[in-house]
Structure 1
């Protein structure tokens, strides 16, 4: 009897036949996070002001200032990629729902800026940290960062829809056998099964990795395991002894 492949005795393949990674959703999340981070570095609003005592002042407010949550939300989307890879089933659908909420929150300030309802003199003066005596003379908005943010929100929303409708049997990045705890438990189970099989059939040899995992779990792979040939020899010796008597 040929020995089983050690790699196959350790763990099954990470991706089972017929399962696929949610590549489309992952790409959309990466694009959305990158777009949001880029928008946070661009100038959204330019504020011109004067206080009557000094030269007129101009302040450029980037996305990180005008929409303070933009960078943290981009990081949330990056973390969501890891969560998508590590989950499946209803947990992955829940991640999709959370991503949808992030997309909605991201779209609100960009839409408000494009419609003209978000760039007020009071808000611009507050974010520019103008002195109390200063007067805002002009507020100029830049549409491109807002459109870029909206595009990121749309990409994140599409990714959320894809994840929410993802079949339960899609693959995840690492299976339970990659976890040392589960791997040791599986090794102990294989050792126990081998002990039960040695009485009726020749035992399959365990791989070196399984033996080490079993030792790590506190199970001695050599305990109570007898080679079939040795057991047969002992039985024959006992029989010959009885015949001699």
Structure 2
């Protein structure tokens, strides 16, 4: 009665491990997507007085990509690393997890630096769009920098989890590996039944011969009993 319990527990453990892996993948993809989304939104607007001869002042809108250009490449690298975690196992999976943690931390730091007003003045000032003009105000929009930083922190946590527990997760190739032969030597399904049936019929023919009975007597042209 206790023998079937072990396979059931093993199957439940494997199911829980796969669900944990799927949850991890969702967290990694969500963190990278959040960074990509935030980097394309406006983080700050720099206002400047009117130029000589002009009557109106103007503003320059700066996106996360303008203030922190590394955000999008870091997010794309994290997405590729998430796929690499699914395709690897063992030590390599732990290495990729550590890489994701480092990339996520770098994205969080870059988001914090890009959210500072001084960074907006620097980008729009000398060498930028507002060359030679005095800035009067910087209007920051903190929601998107916070979202980018949150995505980076989520990737950092996901990478740390993969580095610590990734060795227990199943690899993507395990589902497509060919199963070995069954203990009884027969394949599954009908292919395993046909050899067994032919063996039984051959044995019955020999038994009939031993008893002095002609096994072909009464058979039709197709080999069946008439």
Match of 1:197 in 2: none
Q: Deviation of residue 159 (structure 1)?
A: 0.6
Shift in alpha-carbon separation, 1:228–1:112, aligned structure 2, 3 A: same
* Aligned equivalent of 2:13: 18
> How much has 1:61 moved relative to structure 2?
1.1
Partner of 1:40: 39
Partner of 1:142: 141
Measured after TM superposition, the shift of residue 74 of structure 1 is 2.3
2:187 and 2:23 map into 1 onto residues whose CA distance is: 43
* 1:67 alignment partner in structure 2: 68
Q: Secondary structure at the match of 2:169?
A: coil
Given that residues 22 and 163 in structure 1 are in contact (C-alpha distance below 8 angstroms), is that contact kept between their aligned partners in structure 2?
no
Ranges in structure 1 where 5+ consecutive residues have no aligned partner: 1-14, 191-202, 211-226, 233-245
Q: Which runs of 5+ in 2 are unaligned?
A: 1-9, 192-197, 204-226
Paired residues in the alignment total: 198
Structure 2 residue 166 is the aligned partner of structure 1 residue 163:
no
What is the match of residue 124 of structure 1? 124
Larger Rg: 2
Paired residue secondary structure (2:45): strand
1:80-91 equivalences under 5 Å are 80-91=81-92
Name the counterpart of 2:211. none
The answer to whether the 8 A contact 1:93-1:164 is kept is yes
User: 1:33, CA displacement in angstroms?
Assistant: 1.5
Match of 2:212 in 1: none
TM-score by length of 1: 0.60
Give the CA RMSD over aligned residues.
4.0
Residues 106-154 of structure 1 deviation map (CA, whole Å, 9 limit, x = unaligned): 1223222445553334x22368534x4x403235222111111111111
Taking structure 2 as the reference length, what is the TM-score of the superposition?
Answer: 0.64
1:63-85 residue CA offsets vs partner (Å, 9 max, x unmatched): 12222222222222322332222
* Contact 1:44–1:146, Cα closer than 8 Å, also in 2: yes
* Shift of residue 167, structure 1, vs aligned partner: 5.2
3-state SS of paired residue (1:166): helix
Q: Please say if 1:52 is aligned against 2:47.
A: no
Alpha-carbon distance between aligned partners in 2 of 1:116 and 1:206, rounded to the nearest angstrom: 68
Change (3 A) 1:36 1:143: same
Q: Is the 8 A contact 1:103 1:156 kept in 2?
A: yes
Q: 1 CA distance for matches of 2:187 and 2:150?
A: 57
